[in-house]
Structure 1
Amino acid sequence: MKVVAYIRVSTKGQGDSGLGLEAQRDYITRAAEQNGWEIVGEFVDVVSGKLAIEDRPEGAKALALCKEQNAQLVVAKLDRLSRDVHHIAGLMKTTKFKVATMPQAQTFELHLYAALAQQEREFIATRTKEALASLQNRADAGDAVAVQKVKNRSDALAKGRAVADITVANDQRMKNVNAHQAAIKPHLESCLYNKVNTLQSVADCLNGKGLRTARGSAFTPTAVRRLMLAFNVSF
């Protein structure tokens, strides 16, 4: 049986580090070996499970390949498809799929498991909300322990938001650097084509064209070396 592997991680950090990604790939690979499945493609999304798989960039490609190859979709765990039972039920109408951790499970069993998992998440969310409300009430009444717990939670949330803001800022900075480098590349190649053969001469060539580094500075031999390494070019 042909299968298309689909892997999803929720954050860019997980995608970059491989945390979660390699574990999912291992589940799928082992299930394929044990069940005689032929993996004809693999797609990886770094996206929230709140989106239906057909609305995810790589998820849509995975579904298209399943149709093209007459293959089944395979995921490591059911929540990699979705945490929403309605999304999973909708997918069942159009695409056959397997779950590596439950390779023998049939459609009805998977639907039931998804419904139970969603119900459990809703119970946990409700219990958490009620516990936080109770904690806040005790804090408002002057309970010193509760006050400290509320403060600790608030500090942790603020720290999490700060980390998220830094991550977004760093991502944008890298996009800007990449865009700047892409714009500089043809000029760098032009300088190299003109037989310059030292880092200083390349810097002089770029500066002579009125170009500047991503930080707005004149090019130096060190800046040129970094640029050439980024493009994997040499004299």
Structure 2
Amino acid sequence: MEVVAYYRVSTGAQEKSGLGLEAQVDYVHSAARQQGWKIVAEYTETVSGTIAPQDRPECKKALANGLPVLVAKLDRIGRDVGHIAELMKRTSLKVATMPLADNFQLHLFAALAEQERSFIASRTRDALKALAVRAEEGDTESVAKVARRAETLARGRTDANRAKAVEAVQLRVSTWLETVRDPIDLCIRKGAKTLPAVAKCLNEKGVATSRGGEWSPMQVKRAMMALSLSFAS
């Protein structure tokens, strides 16, 4: 069977290193040898996977051959299940890592992969929210992680702007911590000798956490550590 090979590398690191392309070529040619497919043409382009296959110049050329399109992995042709479904109306797809899968099976794989990406994105958002909460409560390790994330996101900005981003995170955390220093210290001085006791004292006084909620013993512990407060003070 004659096929055309299509390779896609994302913009950025994959394009610069060439490793992404090299691995794809290995996958495709190995599968072709094993399955007895003859590669009659190869097309390569650097483009985001969010762009529909039919809108990519090199992919258009591959489709114009009227032959099955062979890719290394399914996400090289597309990450959107809708894009892949539309593509399957025009051609037969062959995937090197799943050489025996037909279009129907590949459609199912694409749907499952999209669902998993959605789950991962949701878990990532939840993890970042939890990290932000811990940072605002004074957990020093979380503060450092938030600062590093801010710096990473700021890459491409000037050094001055990156420094300001990190400084802003630290300032916000330290400012809030200072507002709860005296309430925590007073609770301790009035007889609260355990973390649950301090949490109860703060909640009874109506002192809110950084998120406006009630205190837990763990939140008290983080704040006390950040403020260098102890039950012996």
TM-score of Structure 1 vs Structure 2, range by shorter chain: 0.5 to 0.7
1:45 is aligned to 2:45? yes
For 1:22 and 1:112, the matched residues in 2 are separated by 27
Q: Which runs of 4+ in 1 moved over 4 A?
A: none
Matched, 1:85 2:94: no
**For residues 161 and 89 of structure 1, do their structure 2 counterparts lie closer, same or farther at Cα, with a shift above 3 Å needed?**
farther
Identity of aligned residues (%): 59
SS at match of 1:159: coil
CA distance in 2, matches of 1:64, 1:83: 21
Separation of aligned partners in 2, 1:92 and 1:161:
41
Q: In structure 2, do the counterparts of structure 1 residues 95 and 27 end up closer, same or farther at CA, with 3 Å as the change threshold?
A: same
The equivalent of 2:223 in structure 1 is none
Can you list the C-alpha shifts for 1:12-46, whole angstroms capped at 9, x where unaligned? 54234321101101111111111111111000010
Structure 1 unmatched runs, 5+: 163-235
Provide the C-alpha distance between the structure 1 equivalents of 2:13 and 2:42, rounded to a whole number of angstroms: 20
List aligned pairs for 1:150-189, cutoff 5 A: 150-159=146-155
Alpha carbons 2:3, 2:70 under 8 Å: kept? yes
After the TM superposition, which residues 83-162 of structure 1 pair with which residues of structure 2 at under 5 Å, given as runs? 83-159=79-155
CA distance, structure 1, for counterparts of residue 17 and residue 126 of structure 2 = 35
Q: Residues 96, 161 of structure 1: CA spacing in aligned structure 2 closer, same or farther, 3 A cutoff?
A: farther
Match for residue 35 of structure 1? 35
SS in 1 for 2:154: helix
Matches of 2:135 and 2:102, distance apart in 1:
49
- Matched to 1:99, the amino acid is V
Query: How far does residue 53 in structure 1 lie from its aligned partner after superposition?
Result: 0.8
Maintained 8 Å contact 1:50/1:84: yes
TM-score by length of 1: 0.64
SS of alignment partner, residue 150 of structure 1: helix
What is the root-mean-square deviation in Å for CA atoms of aligned residues? 1.7
On the 8 A contact 1:12/1:46 being kept in 2, the answer is no
Residue segments in structure 2 that go unaligned for 5+ positions in a row: 159-233
